[in-house]
Amino acid sequence: MKFKVVITHDTEYDGYVVDAPELVGCMSQGKTMDEALQNIKDAIKGWLLVEEKHGRLDRHEEQDVFLGEVTV
């Protein structure tokens, strides 16, 4: 599966906040862009596992995470 993410720089945190808008409440952060992107991958995988556990997700195939290019 592919998911779009929105990455914003947070000056107060001095790092990046990442949101996966298609997955309600699925967000993460990191001090660097690479760290933020790795963290959102982990968050998406966790979000999908929880949804599947509670029967809210029908998962028949392996889930992939797609992260596109961003300009900050």
Q: Which is nearest to 21 in space by CA: 5, 39, 43? A: 5
What pLDDT was estimated at residue 20? 94
Q: 67: pLDDT confidence band, cut at 50, 70 and 90?
A: low
pLDDT for 68 beyond 50 = yes
How many domains, in total, are found in the chain?
1
CA distance 2 to 18: 15
pLDDT for position 61: 46
* pLDDT band with cut points at 50, 70 and 90 for residue 56: confident
The residue segments making up the domain with residue 8 are: 1-72
Question: With contact defined as beta carbons under 8 Å apart, do 55 and 35 qualify?
Answer: no
- What is the pTM for the complete model shown? 0.76
61 Rama class: left (phi>0) / alpha (psi -120 to 50) / beta:
beta
Closest CA to 21 of 47, 57, 56: 47
Report the percent of the chain where pLDDT is more than 90: 64
Q: What is the CATH number of the domain that holds 39?
A: 3.30.160.250
